[in-house]
Amino acid sequence: MTTAKRIDGKAKAEQLAESITEQTASLLSQHGITPGLAVVIIGEDPASQVYVRNKKRRAESCGFYSVQHTLPVDVSQRDVLKLIDDLNLDDAVHGILVQLPLPDHLDEQTITQSIAPTKDVDGFHFINIGKLTAGHTADAFVPCTPAGCMLMIEDELGPDLSGKNAVIIGRSNIVGKPMASLLMQRHATITVAHSRTRDLPQVVRNADIVVAAVGRPNMVKADWVKPGAVIIDVGINRIEQKIDGETKSRLTGDVDYDDVCTVAGAVTPVPGGVGPMTITMLMFNTLRSARLSAGLEG
């Protein structure tokens, strides 16, 4: 029985973070610029608190200027937009991130679109989405999760994916759609599957590359997978299971990792796969924004 290679996203993220730290030090010594990342968090959602803490820690370890704005859960939309407007005008801030999800009374689209495209390091602004879709990414920001996935796929298969079939399970604006654009730019043949796709297992069986981003625990099984395929698991699902009579919760992906490892060529684990890469790509985008603002890229 074959066992797939475990794609170590944590190690890859650390390697990339070292390079970002070196480039940040060089940007400061040569041009007097420190990349600045501002994170806006609204309310007390525990998962969001963890994500923001991890982002702040990573930003500081890379040598960035890092600032966090924590707003009350009942903050008005006007006050959020005013803060973003101030950050758009702040020359010390190169990246602005509003932690999602937002409380129900706030309009996510209005808020994310109010961030200046040149500081939209999440890659959610329609201008950045349009540039990515058109293949003009020299001065655009690619959403962090798909960008991180792409680097891991390239490590396994190289930059030219001509002749490869890729199936993306999930059509979200944050992962599925930008992932399709990135894979097309590398000449892969793309299928975007979703909840209404007929005979999903059969569709996935044709894929040399599978990106699972649907939010259903352990959905992708070994008998869905083409032998030797590269599987990127974007799912983060918390499930409860009984261990020694105790109910404990653990994280799992959209892919049944142990099962799929018997068939696939390489698989990302959850945790330790895509997650660490997402945060590091946020730093990559912030550094790029600082360089672009100084006319050093683009």
The set of catalytic residues is: 55, 99, 122
Report the 3 state secondary structure along the chain.
CCCCEECCHHHHHHHHHHHHHHHHHHHHHHHCCCCEEEEEEECCCHHHHHHHHHHHHHHHHCCCEEEEEEECCCCCHHHHHHHHHHHHHCCCCCEEEECCCCCCCCCHHHHHHCCCHHHCCCCCCHHHHHHHHHCCCCCCCCCHHHHHHHHHHHHHHCCCCCCCEEEEECCCCCCHHHHHHHHHHCCCEEEEECCCCCCHHHHHHCCCEEEECCCCCCCECHHHCCCCCEEEECCCEEEEEEECCEEEEEEECCECHHHHCCCCCEECCCCCCHHHHHHHHHHHHHHHHHHHHCCCCC
Pairing verdict, β 246-252 and 237-243: antiparallel
Tracing tokens 């672009």 back to the chain, one arrives at 292
Tracing tokens 């390079």 back to the chain, one arrives at 19
Residue 226 in contact with residue 246, Cβ under 8 Å?
no
d(CA 37, CA 209) in angstroms, rounded, equals: 33
